[in-house]
Amino acid sequence: MSVFTTVTPNQLSHWLQRYSIGTLVDLKGIASGIENTNYFVTTDQGRYVLTLFERLAPRELPFYLDLMAHLAHHGIACPLPIADQDNSLLGELNGKPAALVTRLSGEPVMQPAPAHCASIGEVLADMHIAGRSYGAVQHNPRGPHWWVWAAPQVMPFLDTPKAALLRNELEFQSQHRHDALPRGPVHADLFRDNVLFDGPRVGGVIDFYFAGVDALLYDVAVTLNDWCIDATGNIDAARSSALLGAYRARRDFTPEERAAWPVMLRAGALRFWLSRLFDFYLPRPGEMTHAHDPEHFRRILELRIGGAAALPT
């Protein structure tokens, strides 16, 4: 979440006349993240987040906005998109598709304890269960088809060992199909900075703009690779057990998922190593930007290749 497209208070005040949420009090750019332009918006009636979509096309956005609305209506603590006076969740501002969602309470927990990980496991399972009744289909935008496209873009920047690692892992992943795994809408980016804790409880899950339909186990692997690791990137047993145990209490894993777990942990690491390489070497200009270090997920990928714990039984 960065600022690539500037919005002034006067521009936003005029735009907000399409909504029934009061008049603008404060507008503040959000510096973290790398995909879209985001602002905190405060009116005399509430607090919101304004997003201008820098890469996603208008035809792609209803999947994300409707998914958030669906999950919110099923009791998931996530942003609720705000409809304008024409009952549309999507508008246009400064030439970009734009949407308003509710701003949730809480702050990210960057040093999670097992209790935090258990809460994340419960929320993730609840999202997967609620997603069963969501009918729209849009494939994971950063899935294998994107890996195949993005890898040649970053290869010229890599030294020989890293290029070999990327080629070999792409080949390994291409040999595994996951058609037998339970599928549905996945968040696909449930990192620590995308969950707000309001005291001991989850105040909200945010940033659904990498969501898509994929194997539910992929979502679990991506989440565990961020929430349940130590400083070296190895899986922390206590936090992993807490997250997976809480998830299983809501939705148990199938035998096919148990067999696919080591491969899926590697897939989650590959996806974020490759996307961070892409954003690091091929950045877009922005007023405020924040690119993550690709080396973090390279180390995680190498560790997952070296071995991964089995799912709990």
The pLDDT value given to residue 82: 98
Mean pLDDT of the chain: 94
Note the pLDDT tens digit of each residue in 219-240. 999 999 999 999 999 999 999 9
Reduced to 3 states (helix: H, G, I; strand: E, B; else coil), residue 75 is coil
Eight-class DSSP state of 32: S
How many whole angstroms from its chain centre is CA 303? 22
For tokens 């994340």, name the residue: 120
Listed range (47-51, 162-166, 292-296) with the worst mean pLDDT: 292-296
Among 109, 70, 78, 118, CA closest to 250:
118
Given a contact cutoff of 8 angstroms between Cβ atoms, the answer to whether 142 and 188 are in contact is yes
Eight-class DSSP state of 52: E
Q: How far apart are CA 169 and CA 165, in angstroms?
A: 6
Note the pLDDT tens digit of each residue in 70-92. 999 999 999 999 999 999 999 99
The pLDDT value given to residue 1: 43
Helix boundaries (H) for 7-154: 9-15, 61-73, 114-130, 144-154
Reduced to 3 states (helix: H, G, I; strand: E, B; else coil), residue 192 is helix
Helix boundaries (H) for the chain: 9-15, 61-73, 114-130, 144-154, 160-174, 216-227, 237-250, 255-281, 294-306
Q: Where are the domains of the chain?
A: 9-102, 114-306
Among 277, 288, 225, CA closest to 33:
288
Reduced to 3 states (helix: H, G, I; strand: E, B; else coil), residue 141 is coil
Q: Which residues of 280-305 are buried (b: 16+ CB within 10 A; e: fewer)?
A: beeeeebeebeeeebebbbbbbebbb
Among 304, 300, 214, CA closest to 257:
214
| Confidence band, pLDDT 50/70/90 cuts, at residue 122 | very high
Q: Of the CATH numbers 3.90.1150.10, 3.30.200.20, 3.60.70.12, 3.20.20.80, which one belongs to the domain with range 9-102?
A: 3.30.200.20
What is this structure's pTM? 0.94
Q: Of the CATH numbers 3.30.420.40, 3.40.50.2000, 3.40.50.1980, 3.90.1200.10, which one belongs to the domain with range 114-306?
A: 3.90.1200.10
| Confidence band, pLDDT 50/70/90 cuts, at residue 287 | very low
> What type of residue sits at position 50?
L
Average pLDDT over residues 101-128: 97
Q: Which residues contact 241 (CB under 8 A, 6 or more apart)?
A: 114, 312
Annotate 252-278 with three-state secondary structure: CCCHHHHHHHHHHHHHHHHHHHHHHHH
The pLDDT value given to residue 308: 66
pLDDT exceeds cutoff 90 at 69: yes
